[in-house]
Structure formats: structure tokens, C-alpha cells
Amino acid sequence: MGDNAPLVAVMMGSKSDWEVMRQAGEVLSQFGVPHESRVLSAHRTPSQTAEYVSSAEGKGIEVIIAAAGGAAHLAGVCAAHTVLPVLGVPMESASLKGMDSLLSTVQMPAGIPVGTLAIGAAGAKNAALLAVAILAGSRPELRKKLHDYRAEMAAKILKETLS
């Protein structure tokens, strides 16, 4: 991670997803992982989405996080245009509470995988942590940060007191 070229692309179908998806960016920043965030929609900007994802590998991006809500095709469309790992985050939706987003993201036919995380903020944070874990396979400094992160989380929980 010598230069600041993004290793992770955080994509979302709408700016309305940003309040949740900024939390993925915050986790990546916490681990010092260069990333870029973009609003690109499978439906509203189909050709620009395909173009961005098709060129991601050549730009040095190694993991794509794709969040969408409703008929959430974004992660699947991204996966169709790249062999990079694609992590899908279903957004909570007003009408079906994200069950629509979850099923649209997770139910990929065999051959084009999307690694789907939980609905909403937990999924956003875990997508970033999983991206770090993927990058850590060839980056010992990131592997160490993940160990430290888990140790800190455990220490915090063990210190909890109940009154």
C-alpha cells in the first residue's frame, strides 16, 4: 500500500445509500486501506457502471463492495463485468425492510459469485472487514491489524460491567 491508488471500490446504487455505506469507508480508513466511493446504478447508469467495473482491475483495485436496495442488481451486474471479488451489501428498503435487497443480491446463479453480507450497517462494516481480510492474504501488516482489531474488540467486551 505504498501509493494511494485505491485497492477497494465502494459502489452504491444511490446517494441515499451513503449514510450507511460511509461506514464501510470508515472501516477501510481505520485499517489504512486506500479506497474510492462512487454512486453508480445498475439501472440508472448501466453503461457507466459496466465501464467502471470493467476498468477496475486495470486500475489496481482488488475488491469491489457494491450496495443497493430494492431490486438490488448492482452487485450481480458488477460481478458479471469483473473477476475481482465482489461483496454485496443489501440496503434496508422502506417497503420490505431489505428482504428484497437481500434476496436480489444473494441469489446469484452458479458461475458469477457475489459474497453477500448482512442487511444495512452491519453488512457495510463487515464488507469492509472482509475486504481487509482478502487484501491481508498478501499483506502481513493488514493481517496483524486484523488480529489487533479482534483482540481490542474482545478486551472491550470483557471490560463491560452491568449495574
Q: How far is the CB of 119 from ligand RP5 (least distance, A)?
A: 11
Q: How far is the CB of 69 from ligand RP5 (least distance, A)?
A: 3
Binding mask 99-128 for ligand RP5 (x = CB under 6 A): ------------------------------
**Does residue 70 bind ligand RP5 (CB under 6 A)?**
yes
Helix (H, G, I), strand (E, B) or coil at 116: strand
**Burial (0-12, 13-18, 19+ Cβ within 10 Å), 130:** middle
Q: How far is the CB of 35 from ligand RP5 (least distance, A)?
A: 18
**Does residue 16 bind ligand RP5 (CB under 6 A)?**
yes
Distance between CA atoms of residues 157 and 160, nearest Å: 5
Out of 13, 76, 115, 123, the only residue in the binding site for ligand RP5 (CB under 6 A) is 13
Out of 9, 28, 61, 68, the only residue in the binding site for ligand RP5 (CB under 6 A) is 68
Distance between CA atoms of residues 120 and 136, nearest Å: 24
Biggest alpha carbon distance in the chain?
56
Q: How far is the CB of 105 from ligand RP5 (least distance, A)?
A: 10
Compare residues 65 and 136 and give the one whose CB is closer to ligand RP5: 65
H helices present in 31-139, as ranges: 46-56, 74-80, 99-106, 121-136
Distance between CA atoms of residues 68 and 114, nearest Å: 13
Q: Which residues of this chain interact with ligand RP5, rule CB under 6 A?
A: 12-14, 16-17, 41, 68-70, 91
